[in-house]
Amino acid sequence: MEKIIDLVNEHNNWRRNCINLIASENTMSPICEKLYTSDLMHRYAEGLPFKRYYKGLKYVDQIEDITEKAFKEHFKVNFVDIRPTSGTLANYSVFSALAKPGETVMTLGIDGGSHISHEKGGAIGMLKYEIEHVTYNPENLEIDIEKTGEKILETKPKFIVLGGSVLLFPQPIRELKKYCNEVQTKMVYDAAHVFGLITSSNFQNPFEEGVDIVTSSTHKTFPGPQGGIILANLDDEKLKTRIQNKVFPGFVSNHHLHRVPCLYVALREMQEFGQEYTSQIIKNAKALAKKLDELGFEVIGKSKGYTQTHQVLLNVSKNGGGKIVADKLEDQNIILNKNIIPHDSTDDPDNPNGIRIGVQEMTRYGMKEEEMEQIAEFIFDIVVNNKQVKDKVIEFRDNFKEIKYVF
């Protein structure tokens, strides 16, 4: 037992002394952490509020009902399900409710920034759908609207998935919606990475532009507990029920009740502080990208202003590839991930040509543009100059230990 306790303590101490640039992580507020470790973490619920299979949930039902209503009101939607315990399970639930095995669906493809759950190796493949991909131009990082529209009309997919895992710029939702309407194709938007930006009106609003269903995780630019969520504006009551039934009893039994009050508090935090927080995220991402560019790194999206989200994407093929670069940075307490980049030419999937950087967590600890420039200098010293800067990184990080943008 002592070994496990020691390992957890070592992990906690180490990560507090790291610059975390993983694009899919964030840190909850102290209030959320306190709620997360309440008695709710021991309890079990199946079904919907006030329609449970277990007893002992009279307060849980109220908490969940209040939370769902708060999300409906904020996003102006008529359907919310907070029970998926991950964004991927939210995707499974929605995808399986919209199409049957053997039917055609359309996704972005790896070049276009798909999450693995959108592709053959993940949920889409396991659900045995026929996959078509949008026509994506990796040179200008844009979906070809006309060619993709023609493909929608030709293949008549049951649904198309936008959003994604690598997402630097808005996508042409409105432009593709007219093609989808012609063949009754549902539009799904995986907002996992930009959910916080959308919550604070600092990115395109998928619902306003025509999306039918939004799936998301709740722990990236939205700084809540790890988990998933589904939001929709649907007139089809049978489809709503089908999605709910795919969540439970389909893919989720107990939905980890200690998440729920944290999700509510995170929404309230974003309503109060989110505009300032997410604006700073985008400023920080741009500042980091610009400095990395000035230092000689190949920043994807330079011609379009680098990024409009929390993400920065680098081609590091000349520096040894994504795995080698990520390993070198981790050794110096800078944490990020290797990543496939558009038009990736590598033959080694374990060492793709890119790395993906996210600034949302360090922004929540109070870092601004000046700190992003310093982080770029650290990355340059480690990757290009092979310098040992761990002590400097730890000293730098020590100035940013208190979470901001919280009550």
Return the closest-CA partner of residue 340 out of 317, 361, 358, 318.
Answer: 317
Q: What is the pTM of this model?
A: 0.97
Q: Which residue has the tokens 């969940």?
A: 64
CATH fold for domain 273-397: Aspartate Aminotransferase, domain 1 (3.90.1150)
CATH fold for domain 30-266: Aspartate Aminotransferase; domain 2 (3.40.640)
As a whole number, mean pLDDT of residues 298-321 equals 97
Tens of pLDDT along 323-352? 999 999 999 999 999 999 987 866 677 889
Ordered by start, the domain boundaries in the chain are 30-266, 273-397
Q: Which residue has the tokens 């560019």?
A: 293
d(CA 25, CA 9): 19
Tens of pLDDT along 244-254? 999 999 999 99
**21 with 371: CB under 8 angstroms?**
no
**Percent over 90 (pLDDT), the chain:** 92
**235 with 87: CB under 8 angstroms?**
no
Question: pLDDT tier at 122 (50, 70, 90 boundaries)?
Answer: confident
The rounded mean pLDDT for the chain is 96
d(CA 196, CA 62): 25
DSSP per-residue letters across 280-326: HHHHHHHHHHHHHHHTT-EETTGGGTS-SSSEEEEE-GGGT-HHHHH
| pLDDT > 90? residue 95 | yes
| pLDDT > 70? residue 358 | yes
The pLDDT of residue 297 is 98
Determine which of 33-37, 124-128, 378-382 has the lowest per-residue pLDDT on average.
124-128
Contacts of 288 (CB under 8 A, 6+ apart): 312, 357, 359, 372, 373, 375, 376
Calculate ∠ Cα 124-126-132, nearest 5°: 30
The pLDDT of residue 148 is 97
